[in-house]
Amino acid sequence: MEVKTERMIAYCLAAILLVVGVICYAAFAKKVPEQPLRIMFDNTGGNVLFDHKEHMSESGYGIECADCHHDLENEGDKPSACGECHVDDGEDAPKRPDAFHKQCKSCHDEGGGPVNCAECHAM
């Protein structure tokens, strides 16, 4: 075969594989999990990658949903965004990073996880 013909076959094969890959990616999309696996909290002390699954699974820390999401009344309810109840009026409302830090650090200080800042905060 000529080089031109071989090159044309290679380009056609690459195009076919690209189309098949895009179709498979779009057609067989994974189901979005009900609960987030990991959440990135942005803050000035360094971003924190919170592993939701690790904290709530029995093989991890085994923390109940209501321990962090205090607005849950029934098991299976979805938590509300903090800002729905806690309005930042500029006066007594805690800032979001301060509230998370207070809540997270209290469990970590009780022996529920790392206590060294750099183990959670990515500088």
Indicate the annotated binding residues for heme c. Answer: 52, 55, 65, 68-70, 85-86, 104, 107-108, 117, 120-121
- Annotated binding-site positions: 52, 55, 65, 68-70, 85-86, 104, 107-108, 117, 120-121
Among the residues of the chain, which ranges form H helices? 3-27, 52-56, 65-68, 82-85, 96-107
Taking the C-alpha atoms of residue 123 and residue 45, their distance in angstroms, rounded to an integer, is 7
- Return phi, psi of residue 117, to 5°: -50, -45
